[in-house]
Amino acid sequence: MNVININGQTITTDGDCNVSFENGVLTVNGQKVDVNLNNNISIIVEEGVINQLKSSLSVTCGDVTGSVSAGTSVKCSNIGGNASAGTSIRVDGKIGGNAAAGTSIRCG
């Protein structure tokens, strides 16, 4: 089970947890979620992990087992796959795959 908090709203999922924000629509595992975004997505993983995360906005999150892609910046604990951002990537731990950012990448 995954328990994640997106901008103050708690969402519970079973199995893989895939989060996407594109064209103004936030989805979790393909299901639309209504949440106040304020031009930033803050994701707190309370239990479990996120498998994939894709957003046209900046994202702040915990561990992601797969890849993370953001239109502007990414700030995460650890990323198991690839990471890409329009401006910067900041990871407290490590990135398991490749990383590409417009301005800076900081790990550890």
pLDDT at 34: 86
Query: How many domains does one find in the chain?
Result: 1
Domain containing residue 82: 2-107
Q: Could you tell me the pTM of the whole model? A: 0.84
Q: Over the chain, what HEC string results?
A: CEEEEECCEEEEECCCCEEEEECCEEEECCEECCCCCCCEEEEEEEECCECEEEECCEEECCEECCCEEECCCEEECEECCCEEECCEEEECCCECCCEEECCEEEEC
Residue ranges of the chain with pLDDT lower than 70? 38-40
Q: What is the pLDDT of residue 15?
A: 85
